[in-house]
Structure 1
Amino acid sequence: MSRRLGQHWLANAETAARIVRALAVRPAESILEIGGGRGALTEHLVQTDANLTVVELDETCAEVLDERFGQRIELVRADILDVQLSTLGPGPWAVVGNLPYEATAPIMLWLSAHAPVLSRAVVMIQREVAQRLVAPPGNAARGRLTVTMELDFQVARLFDVAPRDFRPPPKVDSTVIGLVPHAAAPVADEERAWLLKVVECAFRYRRKTLARALSSELATSDEVEAALAAAEIEPTLRPESLSLAQWAKLSAVLQP
């Protein structure tokens, strides 16, 4: 992945080693590295006993990776968003990567879509996005992406990485986060799409109260008021105030 995608090369070997240690690689397991770049993480990953697949979009970077690591890695020249993990192997997969800033949200959703075949993920993203992903109910940083990721993962903020660790240095700080799929889904599969539709509608009008936001598209004002009462949620709250459990309860009541 290249700088046009918001990528800055990780240049601190100790930081790279720390990220790989956070992944806690197990012998013979399947590891997927998203965007190998110039090999900062790959260099440490090949020293483990895991089976390493590296997906790299940028052709120049792919050539560098091929020259440096050869048959020690399985190199896939593709956009990660176009990759179906089932085509690479049965898994479960552990995922690691220094994600390009501008592609973070789509890649997060890609991880969410593949959660059933993941054991865990450790990725580095922009600190502001990491703060959104771990924002608790009531925090203004909480948003649609927060709730979406909570459906599939326990998200933990592991450590920050300063701009000086990159070449060229970005203008923002980065954060390494850990994602662990839930042992049991908090919402049934058949309820998931509707819940996400309710969440999307509410956050589209996040400056409005829940009562006004949801009645903008999903139902009449009376129906929304009744649903909020049944779910024991104050109609004057704003979308960022709700926990995942509250979203699940509200969407179940609103289900047409």
Structure 2
Amino acid sequence: MKIKKNQVKTQFVCILLFSLFFSFFISPHDTFAKTYKTKKVSKHYKKSKKPRRSYNPEKTKQEALQILNSSNANYLVRLANGEIDESDLIIDSLIVDPGEDPIELEYEDDKPVDLDVFRTMYISYLESGDYDEIGGTLSSGISKRKIMEVILNWLGTPYYFGGTTNRGIDCSAFTRQIFYSSAKVLLPRTAREQYQVGIPVKREKLEFGDLVFFHTRRHTYISHVGIYLGDNLFAHSSSRFGVTVSSLESKYYSSRFIGARRLTQRDLAIFGRD
């Protein structure tokens, strides 16, 4: 009987130890699994309840118009409203030079040129016939008279960043328009691209029709271009005065002069549109 009692006690102790072992090692894992499943379901439930963003067409339209009006894309708005005649455009005006620095422009043209006197002088010069007697064409073969006539027609046109018409035009579009109208030569769109055309010319060797380049921002990269006329004068579209004539002797342009280029017959063959 004692042996049986001992066996029962031993069995009881074994069962108790086994129960403790099972509850210690197995139960925590099972509890963790249940907790993980609960959290996972709860997270999924919250995610499904997240509100979706509603589309508001009117609000989106207003935001788009604000972006257009606050950027250079305003040109597209003017075009859509009929303020710019698309038939007047020679080229896509979305690729343009950086605008000039308004702070630096305060110092522009400290040696101003009287446009009325300039216009009268050149018109009488053209009508006298003397112009053709001293070499009527550029080295590229373009008529000087035609270039000057086109420039005179553009004098006084307002400046417009990205503009290409007589309602408003920027500097590189102006030089492009002059050569296109006078010789059907379509120069690249930006001043920096135009600086790659033709051959380099030193300042003291400038001739009528040469392209002159400047940096009109604080950084010394090409951002402005004009056409040399002689006597240290050049025609250009100034963001302050529109299409005008300025002097290379002014402190502003003299200190910002970068270089000049002269078109050749090879350039006419490349960029000509006859």
Higher RCO (C-alpha 8 Å, min separation 6): 2
Question: Which protein has the bigger strand share?
Answer: 1
Regarding TM over 0.5, the answer is no
Q: TM-score, normalised by structure 1?
A: 0.23
